[in-house]
Structure 1
């Protein structure tokens, strides 16, 4: 996710607890969705779609934080 911000992500994960929580939650949702789609974990199509929307909202928020940090020179 966001390879152009790889270094910034590493820095933020080391210093910004809010960013780290969002980043970790995004990864947890991604894994949960993969498990449901592979039938490793139970889940309906509706549940999967709901999780995908939540994951996308987190991704949008993370992108906003990355852009703001990049502009600030963090």
Structure 2
């Protein structure tokens, strides 16, 4: 099974520079970005079969990933370059 990449650079390629800028200048964004990365990796491992999770656990992780992605996207959209 091929797993689609869900890292933020694939999800929002048009915000590549903004992602970098916010990671170094905004600690809240950097923390959420790190959480997203960890949760996304857990989902990918479960989908690939290298980590065993129940359906409810996987669904909860996917919902957490989506919430983090929504929060990060809101921050990306509202970012005004200096």
Normalised TM-score (structure 2): 0.81
Aligned pair count reads: 72
Hey, what's the Cα distance between the residues in 1 that align with 2:76 and 2:18? Answer: 7
4+ residue segments displaced more than 2 Å: none
Instruction: Considering fraction of residues, name the structure with more helix.
Output: 1
In the other structure, the counterpart of 2:38 is 28
**Unaligned stretches of 5+ in structure 2?**
1-10
**Unaligned stretches of 5+ in structure 1?**
none
Hey, what's the Cα distance between the residues in 2 that align with 1:63 and 1:38? Answer: 26
Hey, what's the Cα distance between the residues in 2 that align with 1:55 and 1:32? Answer: 10
Q: Provide the alpha-carbon RMSD of the alignment.
A: 1.1
